[in-house]
């Protein structure tokens, strides 16, 4: 069996060597293509901001302490905004904020005047017919689609540490840095707005419920007062039982009103808080060099890929010639037999 394998391998090598020039040409072309791509492809500059979502840990700490002093037990686990933060960043409504914004560019090869701000439409040289219907919406859709498709903005989170990385990668280092800063600020504002809205809704609900309990308390107190005024005799057990029930209703409503009043005060504090939800661990820095393409990796891939494609091309070409030769011989043989 080893002999057959050696024979097959030697035949395979012989077939490739018959067209070694083709293999060399294909390998050289692949290397030239890889070199050209590494040389002339658009260069991207990466900026990263690392942060943690601190609402569940830091911001509820003081509130929990206040609640404990007030006699209310609060769960330390809160709504983790990091669960939907990536969806916010990639949403159309969020990215719409940046489609018309102007940016400063550092690369003089892309703009003549680096002191004049330009939009992403001008930076990417997007062409949309000026008389097109809904031109602005079409342009916004193109810009947002490009940001998402080419991953100009990426979101990563370490599952162990919870550290979040906001990564922007653009064809200009200043644009990449400024875009990263803008996205981070808008993300923090969006989360803060959502938390405020949620706190406001919670406060309104408690306020409405508190008014209902206070009304119930007033009614139960008035009923108890009238009952005592009408029934001054303590000898009848049924009267004592009825009074106990009315007292219980008043006590329950008093306890509910007290607890809701405490929660209402805490809800107002929560609504009035104005502190950032995102705690920065590593501030964004302007890239000193481009992150991609990576010439060394591309050239190595071009060399090995060229060798493999060259060998396959030589082998395929030999197989094609062999099959063609066999087919021609069969045709000639058939013609002789028929002739």
Buried b (16+ CB within 10 A) or exposed e, 225-261: eeeeeeeeeeeeeebeeeeeebeebbeebeebbeebe
Sheet containing 153-157: order of strands:
153-157, 164-170, 45-53, 278-282
First and final CA of the chain: distance in angstroms?
44
In angstroms, the CA 157 to CA 50 distance is 9
**Confidence category of residue 273, pLDDT binned at 50, 70, 90:** low
Q: What is the pLDDT of residues 207-235, one digit of tens each?
A: 899 999 999 999 998 988 888 888 776 66
Per-residue confidence (pLDDT) for residue 54, from 0 to 100? 72
Full 3-state SS string of 54-66: CHHHHHHHHHHHH
Q: What is the pLDDT of residues 25-34, one digit of tens each?
A: 888 888 888 7
Per-residue confidence (pLDDT) for residue 77, from 0 to 100? 43
pTM value? 0.65
Among 36, 30, 62, 47, smallest CA distance to 181 is for 47
Residue with tokens 């063609």: 324
| Helix or strand run (H / E) with residue 300 | helix 295-338
Q: Are 210 and 257 in contact (CB under 8 A)?
A: yes
What does the block give as tokens for 105? Answer: 């560019």
- Which range, of 82-91, 195-204, 267-276, 319-328, averages the lowest pLDDT? 267-276
| Helix or strand run (H / E) with residue 263 | helix 237-272
The strand pairing partners of 167, in sequence order, are 48, 154
In angstroms, the CA 171 to CA 123 distance is 9
């Amino acid at each position: 069996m080893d002999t057959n394998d050696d024979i097959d391998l030697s035949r395979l090598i012989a077939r490739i060597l018959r067209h070694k020039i083709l293999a060399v040409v294909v390998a050289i072309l692949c290397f030239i293509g890889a070199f050209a791509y590494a040389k002339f492809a658009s260069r991207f500059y990466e900026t990263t901001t690392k942060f943690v979502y601190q609402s569940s840990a830091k911001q509820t700490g003081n509130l929990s302490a206040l609640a404990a002093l007030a006699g209310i037990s609060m769960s330390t686990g809160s709504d983790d905004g990091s669960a939907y933060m990536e969806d916010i960043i990639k949403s159309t409504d969020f990215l719409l904020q940046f489609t018309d914004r102007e940016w400063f560019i550092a690369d003089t090869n892309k703009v003549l005047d680096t002191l004049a701000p330009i939009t992403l439409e001008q930076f990417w040289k997007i062409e949309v017919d000026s008389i097109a219907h809904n031109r602005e919406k079409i342009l916004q859709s193109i810009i947002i689609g490009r940001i998402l498709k080419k991953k100009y903005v990426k979101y990563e989170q370490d599952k162990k540490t919870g550290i979040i990385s906001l990564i922007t990668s653009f064809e200009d280092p200043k644009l990449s840095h400024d875009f990263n800063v803008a996205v981070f600020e808008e993300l923090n504002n969006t989360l803060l707005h959502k938390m405020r809205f949620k706190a406001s809704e919670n406060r309104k609900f408690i306020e409405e419920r508190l008014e209902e309990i206070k009304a119930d308390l007033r009614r139960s107190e008035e009923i108890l007062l009238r009952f005592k005024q009408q029934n001054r005799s303590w000898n009848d057990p049924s009267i004592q039982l009825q009074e106990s029930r009315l007292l219980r209703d008043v006590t329950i409503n008093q306890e509910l009103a007290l607890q809701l009043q405490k929660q209402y005060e805490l809800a107002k504090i929560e609504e009035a808080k104005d502190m950032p939800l995102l705690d920065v661990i590593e501030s964004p820095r302007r890239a000193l060099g481009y992150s991609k393409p990576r010439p060394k990796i591309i050239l190595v891939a071009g060399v090995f890929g060229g060798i493999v494609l060259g060998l396959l091309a030589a082998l395929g070409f030999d197989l094609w010639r062999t099959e063609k030769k066999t087919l021609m011989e069969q045709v000639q043989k058939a013609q002789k037999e028929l002739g």
